[in-house]
Amino acid sequence: MIKEFAAGTTILVDKPLEWTSFDVVNKLRWHLRKRLGVKKLKVGHAGTLDPLATGLLVICIGKHTKLIEGLMGGEKTYTGTFLVGKTTPSYDLESEYDQEFETNQITPELIEEIRLSFIGEQDQIPPIFSAKKINGKRAYESARAGEEVVMKPNKIEISKFTVDDSDFPRVKFELSCSKGTYIRSVASDFGKKLNSGATLIELRRTASGSASIENSKSVKDWIEFIEDSPL
C-alpha cells in the first residue's frame, strides 16, 4: 500500500541520462504528495549522481530520510568509459574538449601498470567543476564564473579497478570505491599517469552499499507504481 511509503521506505531508482539527482527526487515527491493528498513529504537521495551519469540512485522517503547519512557511507561501484588523448575542464563531457595529447606511446603494459597504481588508499583532488564548497560557495559556481579555484585533496580508497583497452583510445572500466571518490578525477589522473590526457565519457553506478542496480526501477515505472497502488 502506498501509505507505507509516507511512513518510511527506501526505493532504488535507475537515474536516466541528463537528469540531476534532485530532478528524480522532485519528480517522485510530486507524484507521492499528489497520490497521498499531503502538502509535505520528506524525500531525499543517498549519494548524488552527475547529470551525465546513469544508474543507481537510492531514494529515501518519510522517516527513512534519517538513514541517508549512513547509507551514503557505503562503497560504490561504477562502470564506464575513459577517452584517452583528450581532456575537458570538467573532466567529462559537460564542457568542450580543450586539449589533445599523443597516445602512440601508450602500451597495454603501461595501462596495466597505471591501473594497478590506483588500487588502495590515496589522496584525490576533486574536479573544480564539482559541488564541493570552497569558502561557502560551490566550486563549480566559481569555476563557471572564471574565478581561480584551489581544491584540497580528499582521502579515498579504490578496492577494485578493472579496465578493457580493446577499443583504445576508449578504455572501459569497472571500479569500486569509497564515499567521496570522483570518477571524473580518476579519469583525469589516469590520463596524466599515461603522460597523456583522458576524459570520462560514460558513467553508470551499479551498486551503492548493499543496494544493486539489478533491483532498481526506472522513474517511469516508479511513477506508475505510485499511481496504480492502493492507498
DSSP code for 214: G
Q: How far apart are CA 230 and CA 226, in angstroms?
A: 9
Catalytic residue among 14, 23, 50, 165: 50
Answer yes or no: are the C-beta atoms of 172 and 151 closer than 8 Å.
Answer: no
CA distance 93 to 61: 32
Helix H, strand E, coil C: the string for 27-87 is HHHHHHHHHHCCCCCCEEECCCCCCCEEEEEEEEEEHHHHHHHHHHCCCEEEEEEEEECEE
Instruction: Say whether 228 is catalytic.
Output: no
**Which residue reads 520528506 in cell numbers?**
42
Antiparallel, parallel or unpaired: β 154-167 and 137-138: unpaired
Residue among 27, 47, 33, 84 nearest 221 (CA): 27
Instruction: Return the C-alpha torsion angle 172, 176, 181, 182, nearest 10.
Output: 10
Pairing mode, if any, of strands 217-218 and 8-15?
A: parallel
Active site residues: 50
